[in-house]
Chains A and B, each alone.
Chain A
Amino acid sequence: MSVYDYDVIVVGAGPAGTTAARYAAAGGAKVLVLEKDRDVGYPVRCGEAVSHEGVAQFIAPDPKWIASTVTKFRLVAPNGSSVLPKLDGGGYVLERRIFDYELAKLAANAGAEVITKAYVYDLLRENGTVTGVRALIKDQKRDIRAKIIIAADGVESRVGKWAGMDTTCHIRDMESCAQMTLSGIDVEEDVLDFYFGDNVSPGGYLWVFPKGKDTANVGLGLSVDQAKKKSAIRYLHEFVERKYPKAAMLTHIAGGVPCAKTNPEIVKGNVILVGDAAHQVNPVSGGGIISGMIGGMIGGQVAAEAVQSGDMKHLREYDKRWHKRLGWRHDIFYNIRNAIGGFDDRTYNNICDSALKLPVEKRTLGGIFRAALWNQPSMILDVAKVFVA
């Protein structure tokens, strides 16, 4: 009979990890979160955009972590023409270094413990079963025992691999990203800008997300297949030199986003994966904050239920609930991503033209997609499923 230090150990204190910890603790589990960095939420490797609807299901919007409230988005085609549709329901550009803290506080208030500067370097095993993690906590090696491990260790996830799940992201699905915070520039405070085309970010997009009137989160992601030829940081520097030559660069960051379908395995024995570690990212937009939190919430709830019942087989429920809630949509989005990845400059220009011909009230994301589909009839069914559902 083994003695456990915790019911649940969560590896990683990003949005997915702290949300998993919050719901597991709220469900009665004794929870520990281990984060390798010295600070939760920092450095920020993110465009920081979320929808109001997405974030409000977890936390009431608070000015202290909102850099800008956005109501519109602008799609800029390679030839410079643009269309400015409304953003249904609105959204925010976050101040993630504060937002992530608030999520960690919610976990702490639910009863979870959090330790930073705690690097998990292996799983602890006894008689072939995972019984905890091996960690380097402030340079001291420590083995900590737990019934369930939730791997929320982000794009660089290795915990899943140690548990026997293949979480390698194929290079065609990985977005190689560069991001900056630029200040001393003119931006429209309520508009998210997206730039497309071979010149800015082939197969991906470049974003300019406002953080107030004079500052923006600017970045881009391109599939590693494309980045092979020219790196993300080169594209970003070229764009910034053209567009904002006088800007002050407040941050300068690299990143990766796994824009794949959900990992084929997200539960194995008593180990489950949530967030980027499980590839729970919207494969079209690269947005993974809210979807990772949804994965974290379901994972945390199921883990607490398994602890209560003592039946670890119950963890398989997590896979089912995730796919029912969001996984099925991501599968469809993934097919759309593959179609969009093949768009050339002419296609983007045509999409923009056809969108401009739509009456203003029909210029929504769904309307633009439908208008664009004449070029890609095979996508019509897939897209219809997404926007009709």
Chain B
Amino acid sequence: MPQPHLMIHIVPGKCDYCGCCVGVCPEDAIELMESKIAIIEERCTNCRKCVWACPWEVIEFHKEGVAGMPVHTPQILNEPVEFK
């Protein structure tokens, strides 16, 4: 199993679903629904703009990745993410 290259971690349960992070993401790598949010792994470049933009300190950057970090990836780009 390849290691997930994703270093961006959305702390579960903390998000307010405001969209500020989505507005600054240059890669269209964040899927935001009424009360669900996920990073689209294959698009994210770990640029950290979403981390800085979040008013709520919900998004964290971990250089080494986080063990057991939940990664939600849509099967088809722009298909709604399957949330577990």
Chain A 172-198: CB-based contact to B (< 8 A → 1; otherwise 0): 001011100000000000000000000
Contact B34 A158 (CB under 8 A): no
Contact B55 A169 (CB under 8 A): no
Q: List residues of chain B with CB within 8 A of the CB of A136.
A: 80
Please tell me if B57 contacts chain A, counting CB pairs below 8 Å. yes
Of B16, B54, B78, which is within 8 A of A231 by CB? B54
Question: Chain A, interface size: which category?
Answer: 35 or more
State the total of A-B contacts with C-beta under 8 angstroms. Answer: 98
Contact A231 B55 (CB under 8 A): yes
Contact B78 A254 (CB under 8 A): no
Contact A36 B57 (CB under 8 A): no
Chain A's closest residue to B15 (CB) is A254
Contact B79 A121 (CB under 8 A): yes
Chain B nearest Cβ from A181, distance in angstroms: 14
Contact A168 B26 (CB under 8 A): yes
Of A155, A169, A174, A233, which is within 8 A of B57 by CB? A233
Task: Give how many B residues have a beta carbon under 8 Å from the other chain's beta carbons.
Answer: 25
Q: Tell me whether A174 and B16 are in contact in the complex, defined as CB-CB below 8 angstroms, given that A119-B33, A122-B79, A233-B55 are known contacts.
A: no
Q: List residues of chain B with CB within 8 A of the CB of A119.
A: 33-34, 80
Q: Tell me whether A36 and B34 are in contact in the complex, defined as CB-CB below 8 angstroms, given that A224-B52, A227-B52, A233-B55 are known contacts.
A: yes
Chain B nearest Cβ from A323, distance in angstroms: 22
Q: Please list the residues of chain B having a beta carbon within 8 angstroms of any beta carbon in chain A.
A: 16, 18-26, 28, 31-34, 49, 52-57, 78-80
Q: Please list the residues of chain A having a beta carbon within 8 angstroms of any beta carbon in chain B.
A: 36-38, 45, 117, 119, 121-122, 134, 136, 154-158, 161-162, 168-171, 174, 176-178, 224, 227-228, 231-233, 253-256, 258
